[in-house]
Amino acid sequence: MSFLDILLMVVAVFLIILSLLQSGKSDGLSGAFTGGEGLNLFANVKERGPEKVIANLTLVVGILFFALVIITRIMV
């Protein structure tokens, strides 16, 4: 295993943890079937405090994961 493979696995685990730490922004799957308050995917939801930090960190780690996957595939 190369250094890039190990780094990719660490970033993947970190991305999964960050995704699980985020709070839900909708009613979930049951809300989609029962018609809850509507499923508005383009609603402007403002995060504040720790939620904003986690959301921004998830975005950065996701971009890093995507770049590492491409770099790893090119190196093979």
Single-letter residue type at 8:
L
For 13-61, what is each residue's pLDDT tens digit?
Answer: 999 999 999 887 665 566 556 655 555 666 666 778 889 999 999 999 9
Domain assignment of residue 17, given as a range: 3-75
Of 75, 67, 52, the closest CA to residue 12 belongs to: 67
Mean pLDDT of 4-11: 96
**φ/ψ (deg, to 5) at 32:** -70, -35
Specify the DSSP element, H or E, that contains 73. helix 50-75
Overall domain count for the chain = 1
What local confidence, expressed as pLDDT, does residue 75 receive?
86
Phi and psi based region of residue 38 (left: phi greater than 0; alpha: psi -120 to 50; beta: remaining)? left
